[in-house]
Amino acid sequence: MELRPIFSTLMRNKTGAILIALQVALTLAIVSNALFIITQRLEIASRPSGVDDEGQVFEIGIATLNEPEDPVAHQERDEALIRAVPGVEAVAWSNQVPLGQSGWGMGLFNSREQEQSTSWTGLYFTAGPLVDVLGLKIVEGRDFTPSDVETVDFDKERRFGGKAIVSAALAKRLSPEGSVVGKTVYVGNGEDASAMEVVGVVERLQTPWAQTDDDGEMSTVSAMRTTERFSRYAVRAAPGEAERVQRDVEAALLASEPGRLVVRNRTIAENRINRYRSDKAMAGTLVTVTLLLLVVTASGIVGMASLWVNQRRKQIGVRRALGATRFDILRYFLTENLMITGGGVLIGSILALALNQVLVSQMELPRLPLGYIGVGVMALWLLGILAVYGPARRASLVPPAVATRAT
């Protein structure tokens, strides 16, 4: 088929062709970037936290209105009380849990003399078998022993436990060239920096905030407990019993003494839902926007093609009278649409890269992989073919007799 006559026809109706091409270009620019962001957000929301079976592990935070005479003994009584609840497999006092969105974060240094921290870290405290409760996998070194645990009163001193377990991602940052086990790291710098010996490395442990960058994997667990009225316990329930165990543990703690208030009682799975709610909402919104754009673009192509078919009925009839087959007419309109769409996706590819550059600079997003533009191009070409097929088929059914009718 000669492309020049088709191009000449488009130039005589260039306003409509340009509008459709620009609509295709804008759709490609937005859709390709939207698909990239959707994929990225869903990948972020599906990252493992390091916790084995998040639905079976829960955190319960409880505040005591009356100041306990012996905070450590008070916490140990709570732990024994929780441990006695049927269905509880393990319990550990801790200041925070993965995906909980609250807790401690500090800078870690390899020496007191450093001016800039080696890494930021989410800083967990625990006085019990937190590794077992969360189901973390130790890949190097060992877990804490009871003798590792220290008690710290932050009202009197600002230090942390002398033994630490770190995530594998943090271990690599602290010691890129070798093992970090046995090395000393410091919370803060200068003479007052608190020293911690790394005794173990776990495969993965996200911070409470699960940041989207590498910091979300930088976690440290310090062997210590603090003397505060508020206590948080991480509890692992037997498979299938988490909901009942949550209720029973809460009831047992509240009944243990007057003046107690449960502040939080949530599984890690529930924490995950809360943490990634906004990411999934954004992905859902972008899916809706993408579908609407595709529908609008398809509607524009259908409308313009239908208009052109109606305007060219006599011309189509003449071609049919001169021997053009139905397939020739169908192919003509499909080729015309491919030419318009081709111009649109060419402009749209440039716009997509320009839009991504803005997103990179303003929202710190990664650069758009060219594969997403390729997918968008194929999708819009296919959409164009499907959208124009109906009007093109109607055009192919125009009989030759139309050419003999008076205008």
- The pLDDT score that the predictor gives to residue 307 is 74
Token pair of 354, please? 């320009």
Q: How many other CB atoms are there within 10 angstroms of residue 243's CB atom? A: 12
What one-letter code names the amino acid at 358? Answer: V
Tens of pLDDT, residue by residue over 53-99, are 999 999 999 998 888 888 999 999 999 999 999 999 999 999 999 99
Helix (H, G, I), strand (E, B) or coil at 158: coil
Q: Which residues pair with 92 in a beta bridge?
A: 234
- The pLDDT score that the predictor gives to residue 293 is 92
Token pair of 321, please? 């009278």
Q: How far apart are CA 342 and CA 39, in angstroms?
A: 26
Q: Pick from 369, 365, 317: which is nearest to 41 by CA?
A: 365
Token pair of 359, please? 């997103």
Dihedral pair phi/psi, residue 166, rounded to 5°: -125, 160
Q: How far apart are CA 58 and CA 306, in angstroms?
A: 60
Q: Which residues pair with 125 in a beta bridge?
A: 222
Q: Pick from 88, 94, 98: which is nearest to 52 by CA?
A: 98
Q: What secondary structure letter does DSSP report for 146?
A: G
Alpha-carbon dihedral sign for residues 210, 214, 217, 223: negative
Q: Which residues of the chain have pLDDT under 70?
A: 1-13, 311-314, 316, 320, 324, 401-407
| pTM for this prediction | 0.83
Q: How far apart are CA 125 and CA 144, in angstroms?
A: 12
- For residues 89 and 238, the answer to whether their CB atoms sit within 8 Å is yes
Q: Which residues pair with 82 in a beta bridge?
A: none
Token pair of 197, please? 């010996």
Q: Which residues pair with 60 in a beta bridge?
A: 233, 265
Q: Pick from 294, 305, 308: which is nearest to 379 by CA?
A: 294
- The pLDDT score that the predictor gives to residue 249 is 97
- The pLDDT score that the predictor gives to residue 187 is 95
Round the CA-based radius of gyration of the chain to a whole number and report it: 32
Give me the half-sphere count of Cα atoms (radius 13 Å) on the Cβ side of residue 352: 30
Dihedral pair phi/psi, residue 168, rounded to 5°: -60, -35
Token pair of 40, please? 């990225």
Strands 219-226, 163-167: pairing is: antiparallel
Q: How far apart are CA 2 and CA 335, in angstroms?
A: 10
- The pLDDT score that the predictor gives to residue 5 is 63
**H-type helices in 46-126, by residue range?**
71-83
- For residues 366 and 41, the answer to whether their CB atoms sit within 8 Å is no
Q: How far apart are CA 118 and CA 171, in angstroms?
A: 11
Strand order in the sheet with 260-267: 88-93, 231-237, 57-64, 260-267
Token pair of 290, please? 């993408």
Token pair of 94, please? 């801790």
Dihedral pair phi/psi, residue 69, rounded to 5°: -65, -40
- The pLDDT score that the predictor gives to residue 407 is 47
Kindly provide the b/e burial profile for residues 391-406, where b requires at least 16 CB atoms within 10 angstroms of the residue's own CB: bbebbbebeeeebeee
- The pLDDT score that the predictor gives to residue 10 is 58
Q: How far apart are CA 88 and CA 273, in angstroms?
A: 23
Tens of pLDDT, residue by residue over 114-129, are 999 999 999 999 998 9
